[in-house]
């Protein structure tokens, strides 16, 4: 497949990341930008840029026809979707095929199979991967109540078309199930255009563990280890790290092998991530979902393996075989990633768009900053609030956390509020340092943190 000029069908830091990966391989890039992003860093460093519509993403980054017109009109032979937006929409991959443009990602079939969470559960079950005890489709509150008797409470109602932590409702007891079912179905219909729900047993003391996968067009599939993404607020990840330090080594090996087996079972091609819930109390792990794209937190894996995942996506799209086998992948040290967003932790994480008047970013060995921001940049109000990802790599987790603290102290942003003060408190927390966290830990800490930040 030809990959000589890539339309970067995304914005923000991932657009910059893709452009730099293309540049390292001698590939030309065209940045697809909305009216609001005409002066963005991606537009500045790409070979050229092309406007795909007004600021609102529904009129620009989420329109397949606009992206296709931009790719064809600028002579691109490939398209990279990044993450978010249309990255997991089979329609975009299909449109690329119809227009003889290489989609830098998996096949439309893979996206469709794993995008439906119920179908993904069936595939995982067939591959012998452990599943959280749960149900197939629950068609109405009455049926859900009957199914819940076997699953037990508390349980999760989940949207079949959901993903990335969205479309999930916790049900504590039988009295809540009817109202929660109606609410979840309505939200799923509004968010995903599909109100199909299913249920899973709720694992209270859990960690969110995910495994990075690479698959090529020649049947080779490998894993690049696992990440711990347990620090979340409203199901959105805030701090990620690799490797997953609190999971016993023998269990980590089983999780990684299960992920590779699942990816192999569907002939997966490109970078992908398979997510699991790990039960802190029993050391059991269960399949959650697969993300058929590059992920926000991919840099921590790159830091401990030395593998350029976006570069490998481009090589795989060109039809090249993976240049290494599983036995060639070595893991070195520990990496922590902090998401720096334009939010005010002192004001219930209120979004804070505006002009950045100071951007003094830390630099040095073991420090990586993936960003699209700079001094004078106007953060638009239309998109995700992610400004940067700060990744710190060191020999051990303790050293990595210590260095992250110092680096955050030396990261100065003015003009808008950011999550930096909040992240300092998180990284300095003794329980976090001791690894005594689960997926609910950060939510429980918010009140204490808010008092500390305001006080």
Are the CB atoms for 411 and 393 separated by under 8 Å?
A: no
As a whole number of angstroms, the distance between CA 11 and CA 246 comes to 34
Catalytic residue of the set 5, 293, 315, 397: 293
Identify the sign of the CA torsion 42, 43, 48, 49. Answer: positive
- List the 197-201 sheet strands across, edge first: 166-171, 155-163, 197-201
Known catalytic membership, residue 293: yes
Both tokens of 309, joined, read 């995942």
Catalytic center residues? 293
């Amino acid at each position: 497949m030809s990959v000589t000029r890539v339309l970067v069908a995304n914005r923000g830091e991932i657009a910059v990341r893709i452009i730099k990966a293309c540049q390292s391989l001698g590939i030309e890039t065209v940045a697809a930008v909305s009216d609001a992003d005409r002066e963005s860093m991606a537009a500045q460093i790409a070979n050229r840029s092309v406007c795909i519509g007004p600021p609102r993403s529904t009129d620009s980054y989420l329109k397949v026809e606009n992206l296709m017109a931009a790719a064809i009109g600028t002579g691109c032979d490939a398209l990279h979707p990044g993450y978010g937006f249309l990255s997991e929409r089979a329609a975009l991959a299909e449109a690329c095929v119809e227009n003889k443009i290489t989609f830098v990602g998996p096949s439309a079939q893979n996206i469709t199979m794993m995008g439906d969470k119920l179908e993904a559960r069936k595939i995982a079950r067939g591959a012998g991967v452990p599943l959280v005890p749960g149900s197939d489709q629950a068609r109405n509150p009455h049926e859900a109540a009957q199914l819940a008797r076997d699953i037990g409470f508390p349980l999760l109602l989940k949207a079949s078309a959901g993903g990335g932590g969205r479309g999930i409702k916790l049900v504590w007891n039988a009295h809540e199930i009817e109202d929660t079912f109606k609410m979840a179905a309505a939200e799923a219909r509004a968010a995903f255009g599909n109100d199909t729900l299913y249920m899973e047993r709720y694992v209270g003391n859990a960690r969110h563990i995910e495994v990075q996968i690479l698959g090529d067009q020649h049947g080779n599939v490998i894993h690049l280890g696992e990440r711990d993404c347990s620090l979340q607020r409203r199901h959105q990840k805030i701090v990620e790290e690799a490797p997953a330090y609190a999971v016993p080594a023998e269990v980590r090996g089983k999780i990684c092998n299960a992920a590779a087996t699942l990816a192999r079972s569907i002939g997966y091609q490109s970078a992908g991530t398979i997510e699991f819930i790990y039960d802190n109390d029993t050391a059991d792990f269960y399949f959650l979902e697969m993300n058929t794209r590059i992920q926000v937190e991919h840099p921590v894996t790159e830091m401990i393996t030395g593998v350029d995942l976006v570069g490998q996506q481009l090589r795989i799209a060109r039809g090249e075989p993976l240049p290494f086998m599983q036995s060639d992948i070595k893991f070195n040290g520990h990496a922590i990633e902090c998401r720096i967003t334009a939010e005010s932790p002192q004001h219930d994480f209120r979004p804070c768009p505006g002009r950045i008047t100071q951007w003094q970013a830390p630099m040095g060995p073991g420090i990586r900053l993936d960003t699209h921001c700079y001094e004078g940049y106007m953060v638009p109000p239309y998109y995700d609030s992610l400004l940067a990802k700060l990744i710190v790599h060191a020999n051990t987790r303790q050293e990595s956390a210590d260095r992250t603290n110092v680096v955050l102290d030396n990261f100065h942003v003015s003009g808008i509020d950011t999550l930096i003060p909040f992240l300092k408190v998180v990284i300095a927390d003794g329980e976090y340092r001791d690894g005594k966290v689960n997926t609910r830990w950060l939510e429980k800490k918010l009140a204490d943190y808010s008092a500390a930040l305001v006080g």
